[in-house]
A and B are shown apart, each in its own frame.
Chain A
Amino acid sequence: GAVVSQHPSRVICKSGTSVKIECRSLDFQATTMFWYRQFPKQSLMLMATSNEGSKATYEQGVEKDKFLINHASLTLSTLTVTSAHPEDSSFYICSATPGQGGNYGYTFGSGTRLTVV
């Protein structure tokens, strides 16, 4: 089945530094990938839709200059949290679909636990 690899699984960084999270589709090509943020005991909140070869589409309230998304190839999207602050600490998850998402379903990465100290 479709596999999405997300790396790193956990990262601790100092306030003011930047952190890059990678999301790779291992056995399929994904023209579209999604980035989510999840707070404890809550559902996933879509942050942005990453489109290969073009700019990401950000959800309302998500700072595009803070959460930089690059989708340079059909198998890799990256999310960079710039100038991280403690309030950016969260669980970040990516997903991708090999086809028309609704019928194929989405494959999720295993998530990245970011802690900013």
Chain B
Amino acid sequence: TQLLEQSPQFLSIQEGENLTVYCNSSSVFSSLQWYRQEPGEGPVLLVTVVTGGEVKKLKRLTFQFGDARKDSSLHITAAQPGDTGLYLCVEGGYQKVTFGTGTKLQVIP
């Protein structure tokens, strides 16, 4: 399975800080999903982006899809301890799934 490149790999920040996670590919995404996974659990879907340049907001989370559909970012404003987890970008078609390398976020109270 080809992995999408995510950065940073690890991030430890204080509560209230802002952060951005990036997901990059050398090829064009058909569509992209962002998931958050907590230890011992399966990933949970946060958002799906399809159109180049698309921006979606989910409370304090802002997702952006690059104009060329080869990159995406996740921005968290005023991070909370509950945001702690592994963030994964995923490109998936009907029969093929490509995962990001993952970003492990820790928000310290």
Which residues of chain A have a CB within 8 Å of any CB of chain B?
4, 6, 32, 34, 41-46, 49, 57, 59, 91, 93, 95, 97, 100-111, 113
Distance between A25 CB and nearest chain B CB, rounded to angstroms? 13
Q: How many A-B residue pairs have CB under 8 A?
A: 74
Q: In the complex the two chains form, is A111's CB within 8 Å of B93's CB? A: no
User: Using Cβ atoms and an 8 Å threshold, which residues of chain A touch B40?
Assistant: 91, 111, 113
Sampled A-B contacts (6; CB under 8 Å)? A45-B1, A95-B42, A102-B30, A102-B48, A108-B35, A111-B40
Q: Which parts of B70-89 form the interface with A (CB within 8 Å)?
A: 86, 88
A108 to B44, Cβ gap below 8 A?
Answer: yes
Contact A106 B3 (CB under 8 A): no
A105→B104 contact, CB < 8 A? no
Residues from chain A with a CB closer than 8 A to the CB of B100 are 43
Q: With A32-B94, A46-B99 as given contacts, are A105 and B45 in contact (CB-CB < 8 Å)?
A: yes
**Number of B residues, CB within 8 Å of A:** 29
With contact pairs A43-B99, A103-B50 given, residues A109 and B33 touching in the complex (Cβ less than 8 Å): no
Q: A100 is contacted by which of B1, B33, B93 (Cβ under 8 Å)?
A: B93
Closest residue of A by beta carbon distance from B98: A46
Cβ–Cβ contact A106 & B90, under 8 A: yes
Whether A102 and B104, one on each chain, are in contact in the complex, defined by CB atoms closer than 8 angstroms, is no
Decide: A108 and B50 in contact? CB cutoff 8 A.
Answer: no
- Is there a chain A Cβ closer than 8 Å to B43's Cβ? yes
* Bound Cα distance from A99 to B45, whole angstroms: 15
A62 to chain B, nearest CB (A): 10
Q: Does B66 contact A (CB under 8 A)?
A: no
Return A101 CB to nearest CB of chain B, in Å: 4
Leading 10 A-B pairs by shortest Cβ distance: A108-B42, A43-B102, A102-B31, A101-B92, A46-B1, A105-B45, A108-B43, A110-B42, A100-B94, A111-B42
